[in-house]
Amino acid sequence: MAHTALTPVFVGLRTGLHVLFLALTALVVARALLSPTPASGAVIVLCVVLAATYLAGAFLARRGRTASKAPAVAWLALLTLEWMALLWLIPEAAYLVFPLFFLYLHLLGRTWGPLAILASTVVAICALGLHGGWTVGGVVGPLVGAGVALLIGLGYQAIAREAVEREALMSELLRTRGQLAATEHESGVLAERARLAREIHDTLAQGLSSIQLLLYAAERADSDRPGIEHIRLARETAASNLADARRFIQELTPPVLDDQGLGGALRRLAETQWSTQGLEVRVRVSDTAALPMHLQTALLRIAQGAIANVLQHANASTATITLEVEGDALSFTVEDDGDGFDPSAVPSDQAGRSDSFGLRATRERVQQLGGTLDLRSAPGRGTTLVVTLSPVVAS
């Protein structure tokens, strides 16, 4: 049984049942010893066998449960037959029917359990009547015991069901809390990225823009002055750094993932940004509503980085972005028809280039998602970047 807040209660009830059964068995043995009859020896032997059978079943149940109830039902049937044989020899064995009531209800369920209780009550009443004559106590006692056992057993089952429901509710609450924490974390990350983008725009980008304008004005004021080449080089360097700063700002602030999700954002980029730079981007993305927002954002970042490398280095005319989700597996592919390169040469030959850094950042992002990144390329054969996630989970 799974551990719950009520586990100590259930353990206590089971322990009490074990103690009750063994105590009543000891009572029958004591009665056979104190009032010996020709059947006393058989009674003692049967009591030992009955106790051994009961303990063996309790031990096996503690070791673990099987999917089938057949072994437990067979054990209960054997226990009942031994009890009936003992009841034939000595009337005090009728007391053992009380712990058997709980076993019937627990192992046979809410339909067959009460029927077994009724049948064993009739057997106990008849046995008491045959041994000592028919009395009111011999009839009422087993009936009252059966009623009490039935009420207690049904109450136990109700408490057990409530405990399972509470445990399921608690697990759901914990999962919800985990998802909420992940969402809050993602919101915090996005907010921090937006803040960094604003800071870069308001400080570095604006400063570089001003430096570029001042150097351009100085260059135009006297194009023949000594050292004009250094001014021109400084202006071009400022312009290059300004372009890098704007690219950083663009990567830090992704387009809003509206109701069309990742596919809509990629199509907008393809139509409004990438196409103006001479690259035709085909987007083959199905419905992504079931994907977590942080996962869609991560895939959007990966696509932006990959297309940026295509624009800067691949000399490609077309690129294709494909997203396929099958069951709990996701495959995200960015493919171009450009020049291609040797992937094995990137770490050594291109370690200082910005696209190598972008590739490294993409690998780190994929690792954070728990996926794998496969880069396939060859000179003259284009490049294919494949991100695989399985299973697709919130990270």
Compute the distance between CA of residue 377 and CA of residue 355 in angstroms, rounded to an integer.
15
DSSP state of 92: G
pLDDT of residue 1: 47
Compute the distance between CA of residue 302 and CA of residue 333 in angstroms, rounded to an integer.
10
Stretch (H or E) spanning 347: helix 346-349
Which two structure tokens, joined as six digits, stand for 392?
């697709």
Which two structure tokens, joined as six digits, stand for 107?
């192992």
Radius of gyration in angstroms for the set of CA atoms belonging to the chain, rounded to a whole number: 40
Compute the distance between CA of residue 30 and CA of residue 52 in angstroms, rounded to an integer.
17
Q: Taking the chain, what is the end-to-end CA distance rounded to the nearest angstrom?
A: 31
Compute the distance between CA of residue 184 and CA of residue 294 in angstroms, rounded to an integer.
11
Cα–Cα distances in angstroms (integers) from residue 221 to residues 212, 232, 235, 326, in the given order: 14, 12, 14, 63
Length of the chain counted residue by residue? 395
**Sign of the CA dihedral running 286, 289, 292, 298:** positive
CB contact set of 11 (below 8 Å; sequence gap of 6+):
none
Q: Are 146 and 117 in contact (CB under 8 A)?
A: yes
What is the per-residue pLDDT across 31-48, written as a single tens digit (0 to 9) for each? Answer: 888 888 888 888 889 889
Residue 143 burial by CB count (10 A; 0-12/13-18/19+): exposed, middle or buried?
middle
Q: What angle do CA 339, 345, 350 make, to 5 degrees?
A: 85
Q: Are strands 318-326 and 280-285 parallel, antiparallel or unpaired?
A: parallel
Q: Are 362 and 373 in contact (CB under 8 A)?
A: yes
Q: What is the strand order of the sheet 280-285 is part of?
A: 280-285, 318-326, 329-336, 383-389, 372-377
How many other CB atoms are there within 10 angstroms of residue 46's CB atom? 24
Residue 229 burial by CB count (10 A; 0-12/13-18/19+): exposed, middle or buried?
exposed
Question: Digits of tens for pLDDT over the chain (395 positions)?
Answer: 444 555 666 577 778 778 888 888 888 888 888 888 888 888 889 889 988 888 888 777 766 555 567 888 888 889 889 888 888 888 888 888 888 888 888 788 778 888 888 888 888 888 888 877 787 777 887 788 778 777 777 777 777 778 778 888 888 888 778 777 776 776 677 777 767 777 777 677 778 878 888 888 887 877 777 778 888 888 888 888 877 877 777 677 655 565 567 888 888 888 888 888 889 999 998 777 677 777 888 888 888 888 888 888 888 999 999 999 887 889 999 999 998 888 776 554 443 344 455 677 788 888 888 889 999 988 888 999 999 997 665 44
Compute the distance between CA of residue 83 and CA of residue 123 in angstroms, rounded to an integer.
11
> Which domains are assigned to the chain?
7-134 (no CATH), 257-395 (3.30.565.10)
Distance of CA 290 to the CA centre of its chain: 16
What is the per-residue pLDDT across 194-252, written as a single tens digit (0 to 9) for each? Answer: 677 777 776 777 788 788 888 888 878 777 777 788 888 888 888 888 778 777 776 77
